Amino acid sequence: MKKLLFLFIIILQPTFAYGLIQVDITRGNLDPLPIAVSPLHVDANSKNFKDIKVNKLGDKISEIIEKNFKATGLFNPLQKDSFVQKPDIAHLKPRFEDWRLIKAQALVTGKILVKDDKLKVEFRLWDLTASKEMIALAFTTTPTNWRRVAHIISDKIYERLTGEEGYFDTRIIYVSETGPKDKRVKKLAIMDQDGANTKYLTLGNELVLTPRFNPANQLVTYLSYFRNLPRVYLLDIETGIQEVVGNFPGMTFAPRFSPDGKKIIMSFAKDGNSDIYTMDIESRIVERITDHSAIDTSPSYSPDGKYICFNSDRSGLQQIYVMKSDGSDVKRITFGKGLYGTPVWSPRGDLIAFTKVRKGRFYIGVMRVDGSGERLLTENFYQEAPSWSPNGRVLVFYRETKSGPQGKGFTAKLWSIDITGYNERKIATETDASDPSWSSLLSK
């Protein structure tokens, strides 16, 4: 009987078996990642090269990396005063727990050696929370290239931490503007994406407009007026060689490369009607893409080359349309209030950037390629011509200020903004600037 009772108790004994607790984490923070960029250690065997002082190079490179990171808004480079280890020792093996004390989550260390007229730079990125090395690379180049080395290091770290390609080793071409508003001198200028190393590519005796980088290489196409006739030019930045692609009748607008760099797409007026045309760079064969009585302008290819977005007033007001690259299947994608223009397809392929004009105000915005999810990123008195960074994360555009009664106070400057709508920044240029175009990565 006792046994039976015991068995009975055992059976009725409540048993608890807990499954593994699962918690879904669907949100995180957008706070910039605290990162410590230690000055690069200069090897004692290094020798000065021309006017480059080697002992300062380590600090300068780390400063450029910090500046690049700060400009992204995604990283928070920590003050160097709080650093707890000397650069040479940290580069061998950091004391992770000490670096964690200053709230750093990642650490960049490096070493420089200038010998036999060559600059050798190595760097390491450390994950301080996991106490391990994330990436280690070395570069050898001529010492004059030290700024590019800093940008390449920034790109590698950015890619390792965010998952997307960096955009620091890139350049921006733009139209430099000087002089009063009614007598502007416009030159073609190029600079590094951080505003350094500005060079002027034309003399300013001809009007230049809408320079655009080839996404595949360092060729640039732009429009210039020669004896009041628009001409489309090709310019090789590496060699400085310039050639005329063609003379086009009437108004010609905004030539732009196809993603493979083999074609130029543009709009020009034939018989008083603007339509979209492509031209093969090799064969110079011109092909008509749209044939409509309305004005079709500002074409831009999708990164796979299968679609083209453009703006047209075929519905009465200027709106954005998408079609297949052969001109078929035209679909209107914007239906909002106001006018839409200058559509540019993101290099990532997921968004189209545009300029919107509504009630006398200008907006730069992005939307999905089907026209949904429109987000206006910035609003101002006058701004337009967005151009994508090669990773599709940042837009550069130009903004003009209102001039005073005597035409004074007018400025045109380049600005950049993140696609989240945060982190709007003015890019320092030597002169006034307009019509920017961002290059692809130089080190690709």
Residues that bind another protein (CB under 8 A): 14, 16, 18-31, 33, 74, 105, 127, 129-130, 134, 160-164, 373, 375, 391, 393, 420-422
Complex with another protein: residue 141 or 162, whichever CB lies closer: 162
Minimum CB separation of residue 393 from another protein in Å reads 7
* Least distance in angstroms from the C-beta of 203 to another protein: 41
Rounded (5°) CA angle 344-345-350: 140
CB of 6 to another protein, least distance (A): 21
**Shortest distance, CB of residue 174 to another protein, whole angstroms?**
26
d(CA 246, CA 232): 6
Cβ closest to another protein, residue 80 vs residue 348:
348
CA distances from 400 to 40, 187, 406, 410 (A): 40, 17, 16, 7
Residue 128 half-sphere exposure, CB side, CA atoms within 13 Å? 22
- Measured from the CB atom, is 26 or 228 closer to another protein? 26
| C-beta closer to another protein: residue 1 or 20 | 20
How far, in Å, are 76, 119, 185, 194, 321 from residue 148 at the CA level?
A: 22, 12, 30, 11, 39
User: Of 128, 94, 95, 131, which Cα lies nearest the Cα of 109?
Assistant: 94
To the nearest 10 degrees (0 to 180), the angle between helices 146-162 and 54-72 is 40
Among residues 130, 100, 108, 158, the alpha carbon closest in space to that of 393 is found at: 158
Q: Which is nearer to another protein, 71 or 208 (CB)?
A: 71
Q: CB of 386: closest distance to another protein in angstroms? A: 18
Strand order in the sheet with 242-247: 208-213, 219-226, 229-236, 242-247
Taking the complex as a whole, the smallest distance from the CB of residue 165 to another protein amounts, in Å, to: 8
Q: What three-state secondary structure class fits 156?
A: helix
**Cβ 234 to another protein, closest distance in Å?**
33
Distance of CA 95 to the CA centre of its chain: 35
Q: What is the DSSP letter of 153?
A: H
- Of the pair 208, 364, the CB lying nearest another protein is at 364
Q: Measure the CA–CA gap between 275 and 283, rounded to whole angstroms.
A: 21
- Comparing CB distances to another protein, the nearer of 233 and 345 is 345
Question: 59 vs 424, which CB is nearer to another protein?
Answer: 424
Report the alpha-carbon distance of residue 66 to residue 393 in Å, rounded: 19
- Least separation in angstroms between CB 423 and another protein: 11
